[in-house]
Amino acid sequence: MLVIKEVFAAGYRSLRHIRFPVEPLSVFVGGNGTGKTNLYRALQLLQAAAAGTLTHELAAEGGFDSVYWAGPRSGRDPVRVRLGVRLSGESDDYTLEYGVETGLVELLGAGFDLEPQIKVETLTYEARGRSKGLLERRGPRGHCLDEAGVKRPLGSEILPSETALGSLQDAAAFPDLHLARRTMLEWRFFHGFRTDASAPLRKPALAVTSPTLASDGSNLAAVFATLAHIRQDTTDLDEAFDDAFPGARLVIPEPDRFATFGVIFPDYPKRVFQASELSDGTLHFLTLAGALLSYRLPPFIALNEPETSLHPDLLEPLARMIVAASKRTQVWLVTHSEPLADAIARNGGVSQRQVIKRKGETWIDGLRLSGDFAEEEEEF
């Protein structure tokens, strides 16, 4: 599977023009209003491009009136949102770089007046200093390079509102395109979880083997049951739970049609508290445990302010879970919690990156225009 090496975004909300590297564990810290969530959202939109729903997602955000760069701009500049990601094999022997550019319908164009459309789309393969374009699209015209190296025209079956990445499904003919799409579709984004009385987290889950947590956490009970009764190993989960709630025990019964879980607290050793009875903070921590300690982690996990609703005492155990997960997959975190970022640094030796606002533009402190970070000054 491919790992993310670099992300690019321009013209999207507070992201005027930014390119930044992505590490095995990336921690971004910033106050409210600095644009942290826009960085997170840019990655979600790249996944939407792989799913073929990018223009729908932009329209759902309010269209270009809402999503386009809100800062000063020239009236001659085209209204465009540009996104890109550079992916690499685990041994860094090759890279795949995907880019997509969206804009408004042109005069007399085929589409609704305010509908976002795909203007440019590319996928480039590079190895040993040589590169080749696997996908080249400009407006309605373009081609894709097949496995034999033959250029195939995209044709008219791909609409201006559809991405070629999401539409070309022939894995045998376009294996690199398929690999990039499949990798991006397996990314997981976790941004808060419903914990109200009717939330899916509080309900039993269908007893289906679930190696990975869904983005809404709805299969949490099945994820725990998979660890306990399919993998038959809950060591990491039990240790993380005891780290957060000393003396408590997570109970995962053998499922029938449905999977369930509960908690025994030391004050009530004979009473199992079901998911429906747990506090919001306890349930939220358990869901993060399901995301970070599941049987099979996705190739990339993005967490947006995971500390929400957690007691400060839980930040250190959460940091240890995040560091442990980063040894199995890429983890990308945005937070406004300095204590959480400091705890991650203590447990994983990973420095935090500060997200700042610079003349209305979201930026990362120390990031150079070349897309890498300046070396830290030596301490004397």
Q: What average pLDDT does this structure show over 352-373?
A: 91
Instruction: Report the 10 Å Cβ neighbour count for 350.
Output: 21
The residue written with tokens 């301490």 in the block is: 379
Q: Final residue of a domain: which of 135, 170, 187?
A: 187
Q: Does residue 179 sit in the same domain as residue 203?
A: no
Q: Does residue 104 sit in the same domain as residue 151?
A: yes
Q: Does residue 77 sit in the same domain as residue 106?
A: yes
pLDDT, mean over the chain: 92
Cα-only R_g, the chain: 22
Domain holding 219, by residue range, is 189-349
Q: Does residue 58 sit in the same domain as residue 85?
A: yes
Q: Final residue of a domain: which of 187, 208, 234?
A: 187
3-state DSSP call for residue 114? coil
Q: What average pLDDT does this structure show over 192-211?
A: 94
Judged against a pLDDT cut of 90, whether residue 112 lies above it is answered with: no
Q: Final residue of a domain: which of 187, 203, 234?
A: 187
pLDDT bucket at 109, cuts 50 / 70 / 90: low
Judged against a pLDDT cut of 70, whether residue 216 lies above it is answered with: yes
Over residues 48-85, the pLDDT tens digits come to 999 999 999 999 999 888 899 988 877 677 889 999 99
**Structure token digits, residue 359:** 């003349």
Q: What average pLDDT does this structure show over 211-239?
A: 97
- To the nearest 10 degrees (0 to 180), the angle between helices 36-51 and 175-185 is 130
Q: Does residue 170 sit in the same domain as residue 152?
A: yes
**How many structural domains comprise the chain?**
2
Residue 351 is predicted with a pLDDT of 83
Q: Does residue 224 sit in the same domain as residue 161?
A: no
Q: Does residue 144 sit in the same domain as residue 11?
A: yes
**Structure token digits, residue 183:** 């990798």
